[in-house]
Amino acid sequence: MNRFFLEITYDGAAFHGSQLQGEIPTVQLFINKALRILFNLEISSFGASRTDEGVHALHSYYHFETECDLIPQLLYKLNCILPESIAVKAIYKCVGEPINARFDAKSRTYRYRIYSTKNPFKLKRAHYFPYSFDRDLLNETAAVLKNYNHFESFSKRKTQSKTFLCNIMESYWEEDGDELHYVVKANRFLRGMVRGLVSTQLQTARAGTLQDFIKIIDANDCTKADFSVPGHGLYLEDIEYPIEKLVRVF
């Protein structure tokens, strides 16, 4: 049995999240259907990340297994079958002991985009946030997160995670044209974690202090954090795997 990875990008506004939910339109549903059509048998894919409704992906991965030979021009044919909101960028074969798209990722990087001047061309692509806030305090809240590794306050309830430990490698805000972006990289993320981090930082920068933010982290209570920012401002930007485990075939 051979295992293959699909590197994909998708517009999250077109789907009710990434993970399979019966016949509800999700990214995984359309990938499974495309594989079934091309291989003429049931093939299940497994995603690298469980993004919420509206969340976009610049780089994400799904793995699948098959005993069949790969179909000629598989990349082209997959893109012909998949809806316009999903594109397969590359196909890789696992070498040696197969790795799992979700559990063997070394890190994930997310980017959250906000803008303050109304712009209809940013609708469903970034979060409109026309409010004043303390930019210096926003930078401080992002930086202090790297001092912690327990993030229960930023995990939504009904999670499947058995631990709330995460190693945050990067956490900062940066300007990009007329937008402000939050970038965070970690070895793993909890359910709703990035949106919780973004929303709580913004609320703190509007009417709080760094100490208020630290108290929320230390509380280990998700009712203290805010998760209200919408999914359409969030982008899964990159996922890293052991480079020696994947060989590009298309």
Question: Over the stretch 227-250, which tens digit does the pLDDT of each residue have?
Answer: 999 999 999 999 999 989 999 999
Domain-terminating residue out of 103, 119, 150:
103
Report the alpha-carbon distance of residue 81 to residue 248 in Å, rounded.
21
Residue 179 lies in a domain: yes
CATH number of the domain at 66, please: 3.30.70.580
- Do 64 and 9 belong to one domain? yes
CATH number of the domain at 190, please: 3.30.70.660
Is the pLDDT at 1 greater than 80? The verdict is yes
- Do 93 and 116 belong to one domain? no
DSSP label at 111?
E
Report the alpha-carbon distance of residue 162 to residue 149 in Å, rounded.
14
- The two tokens of residue 196 are 């919780």
Highest-scoring range by mean pLDDT, 15-19, 23-27, 63-67, 79-83: 79-83
Q: What's the pLDDT score for residue 17?
A: 82
What is the pTM for the complete model shown?
0.92
Is 52 assigned a catalytic role? yes
- Do 114 and 215 belong to one domain? yes
Q: What is the pLDDT of residues 18-35, one digit of tens each?
A: 888 878 889 999 999 999
Coil, helix or strand at residue 38: helix
Residue with the two structure tokens 């549903």? 29
Domain-terminating residue out of 103, 134, 153:
103
Q: What's the pLDDT score for residue 41?
A: 87
The alpha helices in 40-186, defined as continuous H runs, are 74-81, 135-144
Domain-terminating residue out of 54, 82, 103:
103
Question: What pLDDT band is residue 160 in, cutting at 50, 70 and 90?
Answer: low
Angle, CA 64 vertex, CA 33 and CA 15 arms, to 5°: 45
Q: What is the mean pLDDT of the chain?
A: 93
- Do 86 and 129 belong to one domain? no
Active-site pick, 11, 52, 176, 218: 52
The alpha helices in 102-192, defined as continuous H runs, are 135-144
Residue 243 lies in a domain: no
Closest by CA to 62, choosing from 28, 97, 21, 99, is 28
Contact 10, 52 (CB under 8 A): no
- Do 124 and 84 belong to one domain? no
Report the alpha-carbon distance of residue 193 to residue 103 in Å, rounded.
17
Domain that holds residue 70: 2-103
Question: What pLDDT band is residue 210 in, cutting at 50, 70 and 90?
Answer: very high
Q: What's the pLDDT score for residue 156?
A: 85
Of the two residues 162 and 211, the one the predictor is more confident about is 211
Number of folded domains that form the chain: 2
- Do 38 and 17 belong to one domain? yes
Is the pLDDT at 181 greater than 80? The verdict is yes
